[in-house]
Amino acid sequence: MQTIKAAVCRDFGAPLVIEDIQLADPGTGEVEITLDAVAICHSDISYAEGAWGGHLPAVYGHEAAGVVTGLGAGVTGFETGDNVIVTLIRACGSCPNCAGGKPTICETPNDGVQGSIKTADGGPLLQAMACGAFAEKVVVHHSQIVKIPADMPKEAACLLSCGVITGVGAAVNAAGLRAGQDVVVIGAGGVGLNAIQGARIAGARRIVAVDMIEEKLAIAKEFGATHGVLATSPKPWRAAQKALGGRGADAVLVTVGAAAAYNDAPRYLGWGGKAIMIGMPHAEANAEYNPMGMSYQGQGLIGSKMGDTVIQRDIPWMVDLYQQGRLKLDELISGRWSLSQINEAIADTKTGSAKRNVILFDR
């Protein structure tokens, strides 16, 4: 065991505490990564606030990048010194979903997997989302990491771990967008901007961003939205349809975790359209819709977890797009913070104005 620093959640809704924790050596099939950067995702905040339950104390954080500094037995394809992205997608590789190209919904339970961290006195400490990346180092399963070029900035690379693959993947993989289709993206935050990028990359004809903040609609246009609609306006789906030439959307990508957004999503759809459910409301939240209208018009609701991403296939592709200048990553970074400033970074993220705040580690 070695001692590292981490931001620990001791009580739901309370500030995280920077403290020393114990990190185990990598076991069979595991790798140790010394982190350079980790981004703050709204999912981390929701977990830390108790929105989805879970055990405490815990270390959250799951959008990370760093360097491999240890290898467990049986790990192939990686070497000490490799630059990698760390994701929460832990896949067995052999269940029906993994074998069918859906590792984000791996059927092998991971909840009972023994984590690699303990409190300073050896007590239990949850390695949340199989990552626990609000820490100087992590030990994770080898299926969770992807190699990246050594010259790629880690503060940009870490964004590919969740927010980017979730948004871009929802447009490309889950919605299956093709050139010439029309898209509505509800929510112009971190995931929403990437859904917009994904729709643009897929060749969408028109992309309507819907958000409650005018400033975020302006930013959405920088990422590829052709039109913006305020969600606070009366019947915003009417304005979206007007922007789409008087028809409904082929796909509506719901990137916010608000039940009200899910209530409205089908209203933006055209005949044969699909609503892609990406954002995660609190566990007790419910939404309502009219099934008759959706059935008659051949519409559908599709859940998309992590953009239906196959990380070894999709992340190298996105890295290449970034290097070509076709995928914006640097522009997603709103602020850079140290681990000691993580509570301030979380507070800034909760204002809704930040795209992504990134914690940088000095080493």
195 versus 351: the higher-pLDDT residue is 195
pLDDT-wise least confident of 105-119, 159-173, 321-335: 105-119
What are the structural domain ranges in the chain? 2-161+328-360, 167-305
Q: Residue 105: is its pLDDT beyond 70?
A: yes
Is it true that domain 167-305 has CATH number 3.40.50.720? yes
Reply yes or no on whether the pLDDT at 198 is more than 90.
yes
Sheet containing 227-230: give its strands across. 227-230, 206-211, 182-186, 249-254, 269-277, 300-303
> How many residues does the structure list for the chain?
363
Q: Is the pLDDT of residue 199 over 90?
A: yes
Q: Supply the pLDDT for residue 362.
A: 81
Who's near 325: CB < 8 A, 6+ residues apart? Answer: none
pLDDT digits (tens, 9 = 90+) for 312-343: 999 999 999 999 999 999 999 999 999 999 99
∠ CA 146-55-130, rounded to 5°: 10
Cα separations (Å) of 55 from 47, 282, 353?
Answer: 10, 17, 30
What integer is the mean pLDDT of 64-70? 98
Q: What is the mean pLDDT of residues 64-79?
A: 97
% residues pLDDT > 70 (the chain): 98
Res 113 pLDDT > 80? no
Lowest mean pLDDT among 33-47, 101-115, 175-189: 101-115
- 2-161+328-360 and 167-305 share one CATH topology? no
State how far the Cα of 217 lies from the Cα of 334, in Å rounded to an integer. 16
What's the chain's average pLDDT? Answer: 94
Q: What pLDDT, on the 0 to 100 scale, is given for residue 237?
A: 97
pLDDT digits (tens, 9 = 90+) for 285-315: 898 888 898 999 999 999 999 999 999 999 9
Homologous superfamily assigned to 2-161+328-360: Medium-chain alcohol dehydrogenases, catalytic domain (3.90.180.10)
Nearest C-alpha neighbor of 305 from the set 277, 285, 274 = 277
Q: Using an 8 Å Cβ cutoff, are 297 and 271 in contact? A: yes
| 261: enclosing H helix or E strand | helix 259-264
Burial of 47 (C-beta count, 10 Å sphere; 0-12/13-18/19+): buried
- Number of alpha carbons in the 13 Å side-chain half-sphere of residue 332: 30
Residue pair 303/102 in contact by the 8 Å Cβ criterion: no
Split at pLDDT 50, 70, 90, the class of 354 is confident
Residue 160 has pLDDT above 90, yes or no: yes
Q: What is the pLDDT of residue 338?
A: 97
CA proximity to 271, closest of 252, 248, 288:
248
Distances (CA, A) of 198 to 14, 143, 193, 330, 338: 35, 24, 9, 16, 30
Rg for the chain, CA atoms, rounded: 20
Query: For the segment 233-289, what is each residue's pLDDT rounded down to a tens digit?
Result: 999 999 999 999 999 999 999 999 889 999 999 999 999 999 999 998 887 889 888
Nearest to 108 by CA among 122, 118, 124, 94: 94
Instruction: Give me the pLDDT at residue 283, please.
Output: 78
Task: Report the distance separating Cα 21 and Cα 66, nearest Å.
Answer: 19
Q: Residue 57: is the preceding peptide bond cis (ω within 30°)?
A: yes
Output the pLDDT for position 111: 54
Q: What is the pLDDT of residue 114?
A: 61
Are 120 and 22 spatial neighbours (Cβ–Cβ below 8 Å)? yes
For the record, the structure tokens of 209 come out as 């961003």
Q: Is the pLDDT of residue 122 over 60?
A: yes
pLDDT of residue 156: 97
Q: Which two tokens stand for residue 277?
A: 């459910």
Give the integer Cα–Cα distance in Å for 22 and 213. 43
Phi/psi region, residue 357 (left: phi>0; alpha: psi -120 to 50; beta: rest), is: beta
Q: Which residues of 141-153 are buried (b: 16+ CB within 10 A; e: fewer)?
A: bbbbbbbbeeebe
Distance between CA atoms of residues 311 and 161, nearest Å:
9
Instruction: Read off the pLDDT of each residue in 209-214 and give the average, rounded to a whole number.
Output: 95
Confidence of residue 112 (pLDDT cuts 50, 70, 90): very low
